[in-house]
Structure formats: C-alpha cells, structure tokens
Chain A
Amino acid sequence: MRLPVAAASVGALALLAACSGGDDDAPSSDEVPSEGPIAITWYGSDARNAAVQEVIDNWSSENTDVDITSQPTTFDSYWDRVSVQAAADNIACVAAMQSRYQARYEERDSLLPLDGLIEDGTIDVSGIPEAVLESNRNDDGNLYVIPYGIWFEGATLNVPRMEEFGVTPPDADGSWTDYVDWAIEAQDSFPDDAWAIADRGDQITQFQAYAMGEGEDLYGDGEVGFSQETLTSWFELWTRAVDEGAAPPPEVNAEYAGVPTSQSLMAEGRIMVGSTGDNNISDIQIALDQNELGTISIVRSPTDGVPQVVGANGWSIAANCENVADSASFIDYFINTPENALILETQTGLPPVTSVLEGMQENPDVSQAIKDRITLYFDLLDQGATVDIWPDGTQTLVSQIATNYEEVAFGQTSPEDAAASFIEQANAALSGF
C-alpha cells in the first residue's frame, strides 16, 4: 500500500508545483528589462481595432514616457505575420494569442513565462476564475498567456419564430442527436423555405460538443481523441437531418457558406435552431429585428450534460521583448480596468475578470444581449467549463472537417470514408507533418 501512497504523494506534489507555476525561467518584475518602446499587436476587424486602440490611447495618456506602436491586423493575416516574426525572435512586446493557436509559440519559447510577474503582483490575475486561468497553463507548468476575452459557441434558438408556427422549442439540455430528432419531427410545421435546424455537420466546435457527449474529445495525447465510429455517426446524423428535410440541402448551405452571420439563414428567420459564437448573437438579432423575424437566444453547446469548453483571446509578452515591465503594466491595465470593458463592448470577447463582468450586468448602458451572454458564461463556469487549448498544427482542421463533410453531403464519399480521411489528416497534423 505504501508504494501507491508515495506515488500519489509525489504526483500530488508535482501537480501542485505545476499548478503553482513560477518556475526558475519566469522572471519577476525586478529581473525584467524595462527600457525602450513597446509594440502591441492584435487581430480584429476595423471596429474592434478602433476599440482596442482607444484603450491603448488611454493607457498611453497615463504613461506618457512609454513609446507605443500599434500593430493590428486581421485574424488570418495575424498568424501569418507572427509565425514569421517568431522565427526571427522579433514578435511585438505585447502580442495577442488565442487558445487555438498559442501552443506553438509557448512550446517554441517565443513567449515569456509570466508566473514571476503574477506572483509579485505586476499582473493582477486574482479576478480571473481559477478554472479559466489554470486551463490556460502550459504543460510545462508556466503561464504564458493572460486571457483578455472569453468566447464560447453554443446552440442558438429562435423560440418566438418556432411558436409562430405552433412548434414547441426543443429541450436545451440534451445532445445534438436530441436536437436532430426534434427537428425531423417539427419540420412539417415549417414552410418549404425554412428549416428546423441548421446543418452543423461541417462545424468542428459542434462536433467536439458531440464527441464530449460520447465521452470523448477532439484531441487526445498526440492523436485525435475520438473514434472513427463517433465521427461517422456525426456525419450520418446530419445527412439524416438533410435527407428528412429538417436541415437545408447542401446546395443551399454552399450558397450561404462564408456570408456574414448577419446575413445567414438564421438571421433571415429561416432556421429555428443553429449554433454560433456568442459574439455573433447581436448581429443576428439586429437582422431579425429589421424584419421582425423573432428573437435569438443562445444556450450551451449540446454536450449531453458534459461541461463544455470555451475559448480565450489573451495577451502574452514576447520572449524577445526589451521592455517587459511596461508590457506587463499594460496587460494588467487592459484586463482589470472596468472602463475598458465599456469601450470594448465585448468585441474582443467577454472580459475575464469576474468583478468587471458583474459591473457590466449592473450597468444600465450595457445591452441585454451582452448581459444574457454573461449570465450564460457564469452558468458554463458553474458547470465546469474550461479553456480549450488546441495542440500545435491543428488549426487547419477547422476547414478540413468542412471539406470532408461536404464530400459526404454531396454524395461524393461515404461517412465512413470521410471520417477515416479526416482522422488521417488530423493525426498527421498532430504529429507535426
């Protein structure tokens, strides 16, 4: 019996050490360089960039001695640029990261471990829920990225529109299978150019929710974390929905692929149940309001009761940065200043600090849609949601699963073959090739 106890003790100590972070490589504020200009780089649309710039300008007005350069670009362009900069150790001092992308830069020592700066209070993370902060921690025990915006994907329902056609909304606590079963039954009540459910077969995030409901996950240890049977059944689930007429045919999906969410089938009131990121809800609602086509509500991803995952945008400090002190000061200001949340209006995601979120809920100037998202986010945390960090190299799988599913939808291949093809691609990506 002693051996297991000892092993458990060693394991617990190792876990404690890992969780506490702050290894020898993580410098404190006394040990970091603090001279010179800082560059801040992030991704987003023009509206988001303008809001982040306003926050930067406010910080700059309080730190007039710091020379700041802003380097915003779009999401896709951002990673092209940062990957080249990382090769030359020339990343901007304060660089935005995202939970699906950050592993590459953490594991290649492009980022500075921040535990030392956290421990001495230079960056105050006490207001960030522990589950969010700790799930962002790298396997080496260090924290490289401080979340500045939380986002999640959930199922979306247009309840008033369903009720217009005399349909009872589906139970929001089930799985995607439950939603599809409901949709097939309800479809007869809807007109020919409207569908009970959006075809989500090509969405990797929703497949993840499905896999989690099956007791699996997207990624395992160096390979995919789900079985071929699970992905095959996912493809079959959605081809069944399409074949039964409960989801739009593939040619309609192809027509609407890539359109802004504000012009999606959901925004046109032609879809009763769909899914999207929480930050898209407002755009869809504006479109629905223009034509009085109902009200969209977002509920958690259909994981069949298993806690879902969330994503996080975060700030990091480049390992090559020559003014770490001011970079850390900016990050602390960005995440902990309540006024910033009102400037950003959740365009960069929900603020990570609980007290800031609570302040937004009490603020009459904040829209009800944002307040509802905050409430749902708190619910997700209560249910055990964690930040989902993707392994390096897997980002292309977002489009890969869409390609494989489209081949199934247009009858070019079978669900089994498409699932095998995707798993082969995913495992190749996870192995580094």
Chain B
Amino acid sequence: MTSAISIRRRQGTVPYVARRTFIHVGLIGAAFAMVYPLLWMTSTAFRPSEQALIEDSLWVPSPTLENFVGGWSAVGQHGFGVFFANSLIISILVIIGNLLSCSLAAYAFARLPFKGRKIWFALMIGTIMLPIHVLLIPQYLLFNSLGWVDTFLPLVVPKFLATEAFFVFLLVQFFRLIPHELTEAGRIDGCGHPRIFAQLILPLSVPALTTAAAFSFIWSWNDFLSPLIYLTSQDNYTVPIALSLFVDSTGTSNYGGLFAMSLLSLLPVIGFFLAFQKLLLDGISTTGIK
C-alpha cells in the first residue's frame, strides 16, 4: 500500500516539477524581455557613443564614463544640472499642490452633503476624458495674458486648484472606506470639518496620499508637452525637453549622451518607488486602482 502511494506521488511529482520548471522558465524569459530595454539602455550608456546603436549585447568590454561627462554639458549653457533642478522644483510643487487641493476636494465629495454633489462629481470625472490638445490653446491664451509663459507657474498653479480629477477620484474612493463612526466620534468631541480632515482623515489616508504623490511625481517628471509649450528659455527647460534635444530628425544625434542622461533621469523615479514601495502598494490595493 505504502509503495503504491509513493509510486503515485512520484508519478504525480515528475509532471508537477516539470510544469513548475516550465512556468518559471517562461516567466523568467518574459521578465527578461521586459527588463531587456532598460538593461540595454544601461549598458549603452557606458559604451562609446559611436557604438551606441550598433551593439545588441548587454556586455560592455571596456566601459566608459565619457557619455555621462559629455552628455551632462551637451545641451544648453548650464548643462543638465539646471534641467534636473527645474524638473525637481516643478515635480515637488506639483506633488504639494495635488495633495493639498485634491484631498480637500475629495473630502468634500466624500463627506460633505451638498446640492448637486453627484452631478458635480460626474462633471469632475468627465474632465479626465478631455485630451490635453483640446485645452492647450485656451490655457495658453489665459496664461499668456497673465504673463506666466516661460515661468513654472502654468505647470504648478493649476495643481493647487484640484484640476487633477484622477487624484480627486482616487482619494474620494479611499475616504469613503474610512468608517463614518470615526468622523462622527470626532464631531461629538467638537471637531469641525477642518480638524476632522486634518487630524482624522489625512493621517488615515497616507497610503492613498502616497499613491497620489507617486503618480504626481512620475507624470510631472516625465511630462513633455506642457513644459515644451510653456517653458521657452533653455534655462527653464526640464529634463524631458533637454533629452529630446539629443535626437532630432534634421541632424546627427548624440545617442551615447542621450542614453547616459536618460539613465540618470530614471534614478529619481526609481528612488521614489523604492522609498515608498510599501505605502504605494497599500494605496493601490485599497483604492481599487490597479
């Protein structure tokens, strides 16, 4: 009897192991295919520029830092230090603006009863469907009349006015999950809406706020069109605009410098993700945004 069971187990084990091995090999292969472009970009950044688009291999026989040195100062009079600083300033202000304004708007939609709330919420959600190209010229006319063109203001000020409907929606979803008993208890203790928002809702919403901050940072850091339109002086350019100057259809391009600076431009995004990884995943899983 015992030997019969062990034989069945062995017979069952062999296909199980083979199946698991097959699945793992497949997954590793798929993962490698996904990561390969990033790895290739990394290795190309350390390759001599003239070999940039020739080599498919990830191995770099004689790595060099010349792309980093040359690329850092290849664009503009002040180099990439200024572009990274500009991107960082804009991204940080965008995060602050989005978190402040969107959380306030979300609190209103989630917790305050007011006339036409559902209609206003639907209208707010509807703005997500407006493509930027529709808004670009009216917004440009407005900001130009205010004298804001070639400053960071058109990229930052709207973020303080809860114009990112996606984040409002995301935070509304999260705020609705917070038990009403908590806020009722706060009201019994004499809290008004400002204290309930600041001392109850916000501390309980850190995962959702982190998610909003992460997306704000990534979108702002990678944004190309809006900075292109509003920032005209080289000294005000952001990293994506500066990177684009490496590749132009009308002339030769410094691909080595492009990949080196692209690699550097990824570091803040990766760093942000690593630093807030746990909160970010919590926020995504609890708001149903996947």
Q: Is the CB of B232 within 8 A of A77?
A: no
Q: Is the CB of A263 within 8 A of B53?
A: yes
User: Residue of A at shortest CB range from B254?
Assistant: A46
Q: Is the CB of B140 within 8 A of A49?
A: no
Q: Which residues of B contact A77 (CB under 8 A)?
A: 228, 241, 244
Tell me whether A90 and B149 are in contact in the complex, defined as CB-CB below 8 angstroms, given that A71-B232, A74-B245, A75-B248 are known contacts.
yes
User: Residue of A at shortest CB range from B50?
Assistant: A290
Q: Is the CB of B245 within 8 A of A84?
A: no
Q: Is the CB of A90 within 8 A of B233?
A: no
Whether a CB of chain B sits under 8 angstroms from the CB of A44 is yes
User: Residue of B at shortest CB range from A69?
Assistant: B233
Q: Which residues of A contact B244 (CB under 8 A)?
A: 73-74, 77
* Contacting residue for A84 out of B54, B77, B229, CB 8 A: B229
Q: Is the CB of A75 within 8 A of B250?
A: yes
Q: Which residues of A contact B54 (CB under 8 A)?
A: 263
Q: 1/0 contact trace for A87-113 toward B, CB 8 Å? A: 110101000000000000000000000
Q: Is the CB of A92 within 8 A of B232?
A: yes
Number of interface residues of A (CB under 8 A): 34
* Contacting residue for B249 out of A76, A85, A262, CB 8 A: A76
Output the least CB separation between B13 and chain A (Å): 45
Q: Is the CB of B246 within 8 A of A45?
A: yes
Q: Is the CB of B245 within 8 A of A72?
A: yes
Whether a CB of chain B sits under 8 angstroms from the CB of A43 is yes
Whether a CB of chain B sits under 8 angstroms from the CB of A260 is yes
Output the least CB separation between B251 and chain A (Å): 4
Q: Is the CB of A84 within 8 A of B248?
A: no
Q: Is the CB of A72 within 8 A of B74?
A: no
Number of A-B contacts (CB under 8 A): 93
Whether a CB of chain B sits under 8 angstroms from the CB of A163 is no
Q: Is the CB of A87 within 8 A of B137?
A: yes
Interface residues of A in 17-48 (CB under 8 A from B): 39, 41, 43-48
User: Residue of B at shortest CB range from A71?
Assistant: B232
Q: Is the CB of B232 within 8 A of A39?
A: yes
Output the least CB separation between B161 and chain A (Å): 21
A46 to B232, CA, bound (A): 16
Q: Which residues of B contact A262 (CB under 8 A)?
A: 252
Q: Is the CB of B232 within 8 A of A47?
A: no
A328 to B74, CA, bound (A): 29
Whether a CB of chain A sits under 8 angstroms from the CB of B23 is no
Q: Which residues of A contact B127 (CB under 8 A)?
A: none
Whether a CB of chain B sits under 8 angstroms from the CB of A80 is yes
Q: Is the CB of B232 within 8 A of A43?
A: no
Q: Which residues of A contact B232 (CB under 8 A)?
A: 39, 41, 69, 71, 81, 92
User: Residue of B at shortest CB range from A53?
Assistant: B77
Q: Which residues of B contact A259 (CB under 8 A)?
A: 53
Tell me whether A283 and B252 are in contact in the complex, defined as CB-CB below 8 angstroms, given that A45-B247, A263-B54 are known contacts.
yes
Q: Is the CB of B53 within 8 A of A74?
A: no
Whether a CB of chain B sits under 8 angstroms from the CB of A156 is no
Tell me whether A74 and B247 are in contact in the complex, defined as CB-CB below 8 angstroms, given that A81-B228, A263-B53 are known contacts.
yes
Q: Is the CB of B144 within 8 A of A88?
A: yes
Output the least CB separation between A91 and chain B (Å): 10
Q: Is the CB of A44 within 8 A of B251?
A: yes
Whether a CB of chain B sits under 8 angstroms from the CB of A347 is yes
User: Residue of A at shortest CB range from B143?
Assistant: A88
Output the least CB separation between B141 and chain A (Å): 5
Q: Is the CB of A47 within 8 A of B229?
A: no
Q: 1/0 contact trace for A280-299 toward B, CB 8 Å? A: 00010000000000000000
Whether a CB of chain B sits under 8 angstroms from the CB of A227 is no
Whether a CB of chain B sits under 8 angstroms from the CB of A158 is no
Q: Is the CB of B234 within 8 A of A72?
A: yes
A70 to B150, CA, bound (A): 12
User: Residue of B at shortest CB range from A43?
Assistant: B250
Q: Is the CB of B252 within 8 A of A43?
A: no
* Contacting residue for B248 out of A39, A44, A81, A92, CB 8 A: A44
User: Residue of B at shortest CB range from A349?
Assistant: B250
Whether a CB of chain A sits under 8 angstroms from the CB of B125 is no
Output the least CB separation between A39 and chain B (Å): 7
Q: Which residues of B contact A71 (CB under 8 A)?
A: 232-234
* Contacting residue for B246 out of A43, A46, A84, A92, CB 8 A: A46
User: Residue of B at shortest CB range from A74?
Assistant: B248
Q: Which residues of A contact B255 (CB under 8 A)?
A: 260
Output the least CB separation between A92 and chain B (Å): 7
Whether a CB of chain A sits under 8 angstroms from the CB of B253 is yes
Whether a CB of chain A sits under 8 angstroms from the CB of B25 is no
Q: 1/0 contact trace for A378-417 toward B, CB 8 Å? A: 0000000000000000000000000000000000000000
A47 to B251, CA, bound (A): 8
Whether a CB of chain B sits under 8 angstroms from the CB of A279 is yes
Q: 1/0 contact trace for A259-279 toward B, CB 8 Å? A: 110110000000000000001
User: Residue of A at shortest CB range from B234?
Assistant: A70
Q: Is the CB of B234 within 8 A of A45?
A: no
Q: Which residues of B contact A279 (CB under 8 A)?
A: 250-251
User: Residue of B at shortest CB range from A151?
Assistant: B250
Q: Which residues of B contact A76 (CB under 8 A)?
A: 249
Tell me whether A46 and B228 are in contact in the complex, defined as CB-CB below 8 angstroms, given that A71-B233, A74-B247 are known contacts.
no
Q: Is the CB of A45 within 8 A of B140?
A: no
Q: 1/0 contact trace for B221-241 toward A, CB 8 Å? A: 000010011001110000001
Interface residues of B in 136-150 (CB under 8 A from A): 136-137, 140-141, 144, 149-150
- 5 smallest CB-CB distances across A and B, nearest first, come from A45-B248, A45-B251, A74-B248, A71-B232, A88-B144
Interface residues of A (CB under 8 A from B): 39, 41, 43-49, 53, 69-77, 80-81, 84-85, 87-88, 90, 92, 259-260, 262-263, 279, 283, 347
Give 5 A-B pairs besides A48-B251, A53-B77, A75-B250 with Cβ atoms closer than 8 angstroms. A73-B245, A81-B228, A90-B149, A260-B255, A283-B252
Interface residues of B (CB under 8 A from A): 53-54, 74-75, 77, 136-137, 140-141, 144, 149-150, 225, 228-229, 232-234, 241, 244-255, 257
